[in-house]
Copies of this chain bind each other. A is one copy, B any other.
Amino acid sequence: MERRVLDIGKAVLEKNQGLANLLRQDFAEKGVYVVNVVSSPGSGKTELLTRVLDRIASQLRTGVFVGDLATDRDAARLEGHGAEVLQINTDGYCHLEANMIREAWHSFAEKKLELLIIENVGNLVCPGTHDLGEDLRVVLLSTTEGEDKPLKYPSIFKTAHLAVVTKLDLAEPVGWDQAAALQNIRDVAPGTPIYLTSARTGDGISPLCDELLSKALSKSGEVARR
């Protein structure tokens, strides 16, 4: 019984990987740069994205898929910041899967996006195992969660290409030990670039946006040069 369950789990992941590979190929052909944002619930994904969109969406045609178990609250918060926004309700699923992105992507086919940001379901475990065809996986760690999360949830930090510390404005009241937190990220994911941000004050948003812009423009440029 145990073995059978594990094999099915593997089959599900392989099916997801196959779909993610097809998505990645399609994204490459169209020159759209895709970012998958993962974190705990309440780490500030949506708030950070509103600030990022305010800087980026006027320079690149940007779309956002927002994954949640229920409600369209995050989509509502993201509207009015210059991007096309679509809420994906997972109906109990703890993460987004490639087939959900494929379906959502069909509905965005005519929008000729240059940048697609996927805000995953708030969860530090499950989204780590499901490739969505993204170019860049970004993991957030908020100062309010505590410095030990990279050690306790290592897989999602290991699979991320870039880490963003959020809610820096709350560092003092929560007693945030920044040296320890950065060391924990580095211990689990050596070499992963780390950006320090506060969506509330705007600190650190510019360097993060510059990095995303540069990567996205480089990808659309590659397609244009073909």
Oligomeric state, in copies: 2
Nearest CB in chain B: distance from A58 CB, A? 28
Please determine whether B154 and A70 come into contact, CB atoms closer than 8 angstroms: yes
Specify the chain B residue showing the minimal Cβ separation from A126.
Answer: B94
Give bound CA distance, A29 to B5, whole Å.
32
Please determine whether A122 and B122 come into contact, CB atoms closer than 8 angstroms: no
* CB under 8 Å from chain B, chain A span 158-207: 167, 170, 173-174
Does A111 have its Cβ within 8 Å of any Cβ on chain B?
A: no
| Chain B contacts for A37, CB-based, 8 A | none
Please determine whether B153 and A69 come into contact, CB atoms closer than 8 angstroms: yes
* CB under 8 Å from chain B, chain A span 4-63: 4-5, 8, 11-12, 15, 40-42
| Chain B contacts for A144, CB-based, 8 A | 42, 142, 144-145, 167, 170, 174
| Chain B contacts for A121, CB-based, 8 A | 125
| Chain B contacts for A152, CB-based, 8 A | 41, 68-71, 73-74, 122
Known: A69-B155, A144-B144, A152-B68. A124 touches B122 (CB 8 A): yes
- The listed residue (B5, B41, B145, B155) touching A153 by CB distance below 8 A is B41
Does A1 have its Cβ within 8 Å of any Cβ on chain B?
A: yes
Specify the chain B residue showing the minimal Cβ separation from A44.
Answer: B146
| Chain B contacts for A220, CB-based, 8 A | none
Does A151 have its Cβ within 8 Å of any Cβ on chain B?
A: yes
Specify the chain B residue showing the minimal Cβ separation from A144.
Answer: B144
Residues of chain A having any CB pair with chain B under 8 Å = 1, 4-5, 8, 11-12, 15, 40-42, 68-71, 73-74, 92, 94, 121-126, 142, 144-146, 148-149, 151-155, 167, 170, 173-174
